[in-house]
Structure 1
Amino acid sequence: MTPPMRAVENAPGMRVVYSIGRYHRQAKPICDAVIDELRRRGWLTQCRFFDEPDEAIADCDVFHCHSVLSLRTLRYLRAHRRGVCIVLQRDSAHIACEDLRDELRRRRGGPFDALCTEGLNQRADCIPDQCEEYGLADCVLVPSSYAAASFAAQGFPAARMRILPFSVDSAMFQPPEQRPGFRVVLGGGATLTKGYPYALAACERIGEPLDVIRDVSYEEMPAALALRTVCLSPSVTDGMNHQTLAAMATGLVPIASTTTGCRDYIRHADNGFVVDLHRGDVIAEIAGILDRLRRDPEGMRAIGDRARIAVSARPEPDYGRDVCELYRALLDGRRRDVAA
């Protein structure tokens, strides 16, 4: 479902502008969950895809926007509409987090030099603007304890942080009746951010290919994941990996780093594995886990089944409801402060 630029009715006491900013294929269901719940409650006054202040946002109670793409509008709201409650969604770590920049410095000039590129979420010259966004928001919404910890490390007030983990459509992503043979897939694209060099080296060490899913629509993703049994997610930094969550719902065994939000769903050696990229020989550790799983298909299947249970406990619509309840709580808190 692609939302229109304008929505219709709004209920008394809550008027929300939802500024999506980006709408890539794997984030789409999360955005849709919020939009659908806002429509159900009659709270959605506008759905927008741009950072451009205008009078249409003047009368909203809540402005929900995405990091990197909202600074002009936030400046306008703070200058002219101070009563609006601003929720800034940041799906990754704090911009000043050095995890990826450290990795880029280590990899430049080596075999993975072609992957050493920086986007708006990593470039040091973007730090001032993004930190200004954080400062203008009443609440910064992140999907994981890892992302929240990166903000705490920069001194951002815990009182202005909220963690709402992403959820996944476990009806859409299901294990196949006939499980495939041992096969490993990367949780995301072949990038430094997603830990591609670590995953590739671990697979090479045990003589197994590493699959990378490319050019597949979201609707085709369940069938693609159902051909695999293990999802490697040794991300250098990742607020919450949508593809890894989908893989877990499909019954794949997740192997994730401590620097990805998916670790919040994983109990080490029970429904997946968590590895530290900066402790010991992490390539050998990942390779050892892969080899043990390959030798024990039944055990691997049991771990994958438990991974599915972990992510299925929170259906996708819950995310939309949780976001709407966050709006209510923030506005109630503001009213109490005014009354006091």
Structure 2
Amino acid sequence: MNPLPRVVLAAHARPREGGLGLNFAHMLAGLEGAFEVETFSPTSMPGVSDHTVAIPAWIGAAFRWPGVRRLRALHANLIETAFDRHVARALPPCAVFQGLTGHCEHSLARAKALGAGTLLDVVTVHDDEGNLRVAREMAAFGVRFRPDRTQGARRRREYAAADRIRVMSHHARETFLQRGFDPERVVVVSPPIETEQFPAATFRHDRFRVTFIGRLEVGKAFHHVVEAFRAARLPDSELVLWGGSGSREVARYLREHVTPHPAIHVRPVPIRDAGLDEVFGKSHVIVHPSVADGFGYVVAEAMASGVPVIVSTTTGGRDWVIDGHNGFIVPVGDRDALRERLAWCHRHSARLPELGRAARATAVSRSLARFREDYLPLIRSLIRPA
């Protein structure tokens, strides 16, 4: 019997920790049984041939000093580059190498030198598009945007080097095609969702609850939810923001516009620590209004819980949303449209379970088996003839 072709996955991510880790876990599950899998990551991986990549101790030590701790972009760049160079030095011969964007410039080059097909896994929109949209939003918020030019240049070199680019949504793909990329190089593989992990929403919470989940930062557009909710003036309602503030400007906004409002609550607690029942089960509608998002796992998780979603036109998760059937799509940054949808959901709250059932049915259809139907042919297409 011929051995299975070897696929090497490399990502500075721990499986199931955060969005990157969840994506990494999906890749492992998608490849299981179809290929020999070898991984490079910060942690040991049971069941596969794994390489645990330790980051040089001096990087961690240097960034414990006061003042230096604030240089988060530099810290991330040093970690990602150290990881990438380690993978490039240790990379074995393989049929296909898959690296995570921002983590694999040197290892992509090494894989190509070894004769492997190469796949760049991009979980965001094109970096230039993301920066452009976030810069506009921050300017409107009154904050200057400072892009990480080192990371951006590295990502663009990765975009150019890879044989194929995997993105998570048609919106993300479009941001590449608008910049002249060959359509055959940029392939959509939407993530799966494990619906059995998510309890069904009950819609029995005493108050009509609008929920936002994510970091409270300008690019996530949480403030549009706040302003739309305040303008809607919905009786017996509340807005819960599950996330923490990462900047002084956002903290000031919260003090001035959120803290005085008795129906808006900030919960800076990881949602799995709070409990999925508390976060999803008590929600009537979940809003994901991001200005530039490759997908947005919270959209899938809300739908798996049977909660209708309101998403922006620039969120990749809109691929799963049929407007008016399992949720709603509103123009990015349009607070009036968002306010109107919140008011509709409040006024027609008896219809939300119906929309929620449709949302859950959509999530159920996005199984691991369906993911493999898209992902495995992409990997096979990269294997070069012997």
Asked whether the equivalents of residues 203 and 353 of structure 2 are also in contact (C-alpha less than 8 Å), the reply is: no
1:106 counterpart = 2:121: no
Structure 2 length-normalised TM:
0.74
2: distance between equivalents of 1:178 and 1:105?
38
Q: State the Cα distance separating 1:117 from its structure 2 match.
A: 6.0
Match of 2:227 in 1: 201
- Unpaired runs of at least 5, structure 2: 43-82, 243-267
CA distance in 2, matches of 1:316, 1:184: 30
TM-superposed CA distance for 1:218, in Å, is: 4.0
Give the C-alpha shift of residue 222 in structure 1. Answer: 2.3
Residues in 1 aligned to 2:21 and 2:273: alpha-carbon distance in whole angstroms = 11
Q: CA deviation at 1:299?
A: 1.1
CA deviation map 1:90-128 (0-9, x unaligned): 1111011111122122223xxxx4xx665xxx5345332
The question of whether the paired residues in 1 share the 8 Å contact of 2:229 and 2:239 is answered with: yes
Relative to structure 1, the CA distance from residue 39 to residue 55 in structure 2 (aligned partners, 3 Å threshold; closer, same or farther) is: farther
Question: Separation in 2 of the partners of 1:190 and 1:130?
Answer: 25
Given residue 5 of structure 2, which amino acid in structure 1 is its aligned partner?
M
Aligned: 1:16 with 2:7: yes
Show CA shifts across 1:186-237 (max 9, x none).
1422122221111111111123532122322547552221121111111110
| Residue identity in the other structure for 1:222 | L
For this pair of structures, how many residues does the alignment match?
311
**What does residue 167 of structure 2 align with?**
142
With over 3 angstroms needed to count, the CA separation of the structure-2 counterparts of 1:176 and 1:93, relative to structure 1, is closer
1:260 aligned to 2:289?
Answer: no
Q: 1:295 to 1:192 in 2, by over 3 A?
A: same
Residue in 2 that maps onto 1:167? 192
| Partner Cα distance (1:324, 1:131) in 2 | 25
> What's the RMSD between the two structures over aligned residues?
2.4
Aligned AA for 2:238?
P
The correspondence for 1:87, drawn from 107, 119, 124, is: 119
**Percent identity over paired residues:** 22
- Displacement of 1:159 after TM fit? 1.2
- Pair 1:92–1:286, CA change in 2 (3 A): same
Structure 2 distance, partners of 1:177, 1:198, is 26
* Alpha-carbon shift at residue 257 of structure 1 (Å): 0.4
Kept in 2, the 8 Å contact 1:233–1:255? The answer is yes
Match of 2:332 in 1: 277
Quick one: which amino acid aligns to residue 185 of structure 2?
R
Does 2:333 correspond to 1:298? no
Q: Does 1:28 align with 2:46?
A: no
- Higher mean C-alpha deviation, range 206-215 or range 224-233: 206-215
The CA distance in 1 between the partners of 2:298 and 2:328, in whole Å, is: 16
- Provide the C-alpha distance between the structure 2 equivalents of 1:155 and 1:270, rounded to a whole number of angstroms: 34
